[in-house]
Amino acid sequence: MKRLSVLLALVAAFGLSAAGAQTTQPLPKAALTKYVILVLTDGLRWQEVYRGADSTLLRRKYVQDTTALKREFWRDTPQARREALLPFLWGTVSRRGQLFGDSASGSVAQIMNRFRFSYPGYSETFTGFFDPRIDSNGYAPNPNTTVFEWLNRDAALKGRVAAYATWNAFRRIINTERSGVPVYDGWDRGVPAGNDVVNSAMRNVYRDHTKLWPDVAFDAPMQQVLRSALQREWPRVLFVGYGETDEYAHSGRYDMYLRSAQQVDRYLAELWDRVQRDPRTRNRTTLLVSTDHGRGWGDEWTDHGEKVEGAQYIWSAVIGPDTPPLGVRVNTPTQQAQMAATIAALLGRDWRKAEPRAAPALPIFR
């Protein structure tokens, strides 16, 4: 026992000095981040994120106007294609942040839940572990505490955690009733209380829309509600959930899938620009981006689920003041379940102390 503790002390001391020697200015983990934003866009494949538009899917079966779509998204190399599709991710995040999930770089990102659809994926992301009880998108309010609920109980963060999403399941996934985390989601509950001009107008927009999907609102009105809310106040912990990428994929519309992915990239660029212009949040905010599940290969791209091979692979990205600009991470496999502890660690808190089942934080820190 004694020998072991001496050994551990040596390892700790050596480990510390080695880490100190690596950086010019030793920095405690996540010393600068005060605000965390997590953005998930539903069911956007790692294939499009890393390789851009897929030539085998740019055909009449999935695309209304193939000539127009090729003009928008087809380029000669995967690098040029992904930059055309996601210019913020590949122009800004890849240069100043980090990306995970590139299988070609030995960095697969996997989900643990075997169901490979949304509620289990979001729950795994927010809690840090797979709970096999959560086996349907219609599942009851989450029996597990999410990292959002836990942070919302923290005296310094209470009332400063909020979620905006287009899918109306998030109130259950974050368990608003128990957690007290405000969740603005779906067509009916997308707008916060209050009758200022924007909120009143947005309530009309949500109500008046011809609803393409009953349980998922369009991304654009949600974005407008979010813009307006951020003008009033910045949550310390913000979740944003976009849904069109998944819905258009299920409809077999590769054109709309790509366009909605590109639109999410524009939203991210706008959000990051706003973060970096606002003196409260500038250089004090970490933005995390990911998805809830992957999709199948080839013609199975429209689908995901337990029997769809490939839907277990995802991707993620991060940019912020505590994250060195390592770009596409090499030989660094990760898991969806690591996100919850990452969010907490960015705010100097240890989620695994509260939830021992949770996976460790992503290796994003100095």
Binding site for Zn ion (CB under 5 A): 43, 246
Looking at beta carbons only, is 249 or 361 nearer to Zn ion?
249
Give how far the C-alpha of residue 244 lies from the chain's centroid of Cα atoms, to the nearest Å. Answer: 14
Looking at beta carbons only, is 238 or 258 nearer to Zn ion?
258
Give how far the C-alpha of residue 240 lies from the chain's centroid of Cα atoms, to the nearest Å. Answer: 8
Looking at beta carbons only, is 262 or 291 nearer to Zn ion?
291
CB of 297 to Zn ion, least distance (A): 16
CB of 292 to Zn ion, least distance (A): 8
Looking at beta carbons only, is 54 or 246 nearer to Zn ion?
246
d(CA 234, CA 237): 8
Give how far the C-alpha of residue 216 lies from the chain's centroid of Cα atoms, to the nearest Å. Answer: 17
Looking at beta carbons only, is 176 or 245 nearer to Zn ion?
245
The residues, ordered by sequence, that sit 6+ positions from 12 with a Cβ below 8 Å of its Cβ are: none
* Residue closest to Zn ion (Cβ): 246
CB of 244 to Zn ion, least distance (A): 11
* Closest C-alpha to 52, from 80, 72, 71: 80
CB of 246 to Zn ion, least distance (A): 4
CB of 330 to Zn ion, least distance (A): 30
316-319 and 98-100 strand pairing: antiparallel
Looking at beta carbons only, is 244 or 246 nearer to Zn ion?
246
CB of 259 to Zn ion, least distance (A): 18
Looking at beta carbons only, is 291 or 323 nearer to Zn ion?
291
Looking at beta carbons only, is 303 or 322 nearer to Zn ion?
303
CB of 304 to Zn ion, least distance (A): 6
d(CA 225, CA 242): 13
CB of 34 to Zn ion, least distance (A): 34
CB of 187 to Zn ion, least distance (A): 18
For 234, the token pair is: 């910045």
Looking at beta carbons only, is 172 or 349 nearer to Zn ion?
172
